Amino acid sequence: MSKPEEALPSLKELIPAERIALDVEASDWREAIRISGKSLVDTQIVEPRYIEAMIKTAEELGPYIVIAPQIALPHARPEDGALETGLSLVRLNPPLDFGHPDYDPVILLFGLAANNKHIHVRALQTLAEVLSTDYLVEELLKAMNVEEIYSIFDKAEQLNDE
């Protein structure tokens, strides 16, 4: 009998190369979220209104989107314009404060879109493979290109399979 985890999409499937941007400058956290959302719009994962919903969610609920030291997960509800499930990855340079008392400044943003709540949870489980391993996060902070990012994703998925 197959395990449910086997049905999870790989990070490469969730974050294709055209949704990865390294060493991006942003003037503030709102612009950083807009940048992470733009690649989701450009690849038809979300409607343009989803980006502003991501910002509005962070404004209303505070910096809860900063989920770990240096890592933010901007997102909105499926009904805010998510067409498909996918992620974007933006690495900021320089890092930015998002207002989190413990985890600022943010360097890595994983823009999340999910077109239903069930897939939303599955996407988060897949991403957790990387983010729960400190040395993999460190490697993400230093990766020079998309190939290195994908190598890190592969390592995370191998660890999860063990």
Q: Which two tokens stand for residue 15?
A: 């974050």
**Choice among 75, 100, 118, 120 that is catalytic:** 75
Residue 120 appears among annotated catalytic residues = no
| Secondary structure (DSSP) of 19-44 | GEEEEE--SSHHHHHHHHHHHHHHTT
CA distance 140 to 103: 17
107 Cβ partners below 8 Å, 6+ apart? 70, 71, 91, 92, 93, 95, 141
Catalytic residue IDs: 75
